[in-house]
Every structure is written in structure tokens, then in C-alpha cells.
Amino acid sequence: MPTTHEVLYQSIIAFIVLFVIARVLGKRQVAQLSFFDYIVGITIGNIAASWSLDEVKTRHAVASLLLWCVLSLLVALLQRKSYRARVFLDGRPMVVIQRGQILERNLKKCHLSIEELMLMLREKDVFKVSDVEYAIFEMNGKLSVLKKSEVMPLTPKDAGVTITPEHEPRLVIIDGHVMERSLREAGYTREWLLEQIRNQGARDFRDVFLAQVDSNGSVYVDLYRDHPPHPEPKPKAMVAANLKKIQADLETFAMETRNPEAKRAYAEMAEQLKALLDRIAPHLKD
């Protein structure tokens, strides 16, 4: 039996080798769990576990891991070069709903129950099968759904509206530190950013937990000290308050002016505004 130090040593070596293999294989192992990828993942994990805990020679474990790594790369190359190889190893997409009708035969081939199909549809915000033009069960176990045209949401393109394209928003402050490269690539300076965060209650960059700028130059700022948002004034209440202020100002002008004609004009306008407020008061209640 290996000693504790030997187990720790083998575990560290196994981790390093697995890390190198993961870097070589890239994201393919986790992005698409095809049949072969599933086998490769389980096998490599078992080899690493046996290497760490059992009496397996290091050179045998490394050789086995490298063999599976090379085998996975060769299969990936074969899949890229041959359509038949892709179909054989990964299968092919299967249409399970066509023009609002469930294809029961294809559903059985995919080993899907009606409950599982409805669950996948709900995950796509579809609750009625009749709203679906096509639903395809993909090779990675996901369901792709195309809704019928009449239930698709209206887009700016459908309405003939031209909109400014959005670009990737950038994080420019993280944990009080300015992301200089991200800020520079967005086309802004530290001085501009400092002014933006001060407008939102920060004194310095150190007061900001996170700041993000979008393609329109709008800056979202999250401070370390969160303040409850002030309630937004209601539009109708603001109109009523402004009209009452104007009425009060007219009455003040009428009392302060020494010109008889101006005094009469101010008083008449104040009376007219008061009458107007009395008429529209029921409509200015939120």
C-alpha cells in the first residue's frame, strides 16, 4: 500500500497532468457531452482516481492518460473531416414537433416522454404545442424551438424602426480598481469615469464596488454603501404641484406690483389658473 506522502505526491502529479490535458482538449469535453466524450470523461476520471489512491505506477497512468488524450483528439479530427463519422459518434438532430403536431415515432427514438418534452418547451417559454412550428431535439440533449410567425414577438425590424446597434458592455471598475485596458478600449478616460461615478454618489474609485459602461456611454455604478432608492415622483402629482406654484407666484406678483394694470392682469390669470385647477383636479390624481 502506498504511504500518505506517496498518495499526496501522486495526486499532485495527476492534477498537473489532467490540467495539461484539459488545456489541450479545450472546452470540447464540457461543451458537448456526446457519447464518446462521455466515455472519455469517465475513463480519464477513473484513471486519475486509481492513480491517486491505488497502487498504479506513475508511468502506466501517464501513458494511459496520454493515450486517451490522443484518442480523443483523433476522434475530434475524424468528426470534423467526415459527416458519417459525426452521425455515427454523435447522432443527428431529430424533429419532434412539426407544424404544431407531435411526432410520436421520433419522440420514442429520442427516448423522451411527453412530460420531458413539455418541460423543455416551458424552458423555452412555450406553453402550447400549437404555437410551435418546429421543435428539434439536438445532439447535445437540448431542444431548439421555432415558434409560429403569428405568435412571435414584434421586433423593431418588423415595425420598420431603425435602432442603434448595441455592443458589449464593459466592466470598468471592479472592487474599487479601475480596469485601465477595458476603459481604454471603450474609448473613455479616468477623468470622465471619475465624473460619472461622482454624479452617482461616489467620492472616489475606492467607493465603487462595480461599474459598467454600455455602448451608449451610460454608466451603471454599484457602491459599497448601498442607499435605498428614492421613490420617483409621480408625473400627475408633479403637474398639479407646478400649476399650484405658478398660481401662488401670480398672486404674489399681483400683491407686490404697484402698476394697476399689471396687478389686475396677474390677479385675473391667478383666478383663471385656480378655476382650471379645480376642473382638472380629479384627473391629476394618480
List pLDDT tens digits, range 258-280: 888 888 888 888 888 888 888 88
A 10 A CB-CB count for 64 gives: 18
Round to whole Å and give the CA distance between 47 and 181: 42
C-alpha cell at 94: 431529430
Class of domain 170-223: alpha beta
Q: Judge if pTM exceeds 0.75.
A: no
Q: What DSSP element (H or E) covers 146?
A: strand 143-147
Q: What are the residues facing 94 on neighbouring strands?
A: 137
Q: Which CATH architecture has domain 94-151?
A: 2-Layer Sandwich (3.30)
Reply yes or no on whether the pLDDT at 22 is more than 70. no
Q: What DSSP element (H or E) covers 260?
A: helix 260-280
Amino acid 6 reads: E
pLDDT in tens, 107-151: 988 888 899 999 999 999 999 999 999 999 987 788 999 999 888
A 10 A CB-CB count for 104 gives: 10
The whole-number pLDDT of residue 194 equals 92
pLDDT in tens, 186-227: 888 999 999 999 998 899 999 999 999 988 788 999 998 755
The whole-number pLDDT of residue 169 equals 86
Nearest to 210 by CA among 198, 223, 201: 223
* Torsion sign (Cα): 266, 267, 268, 270: positive
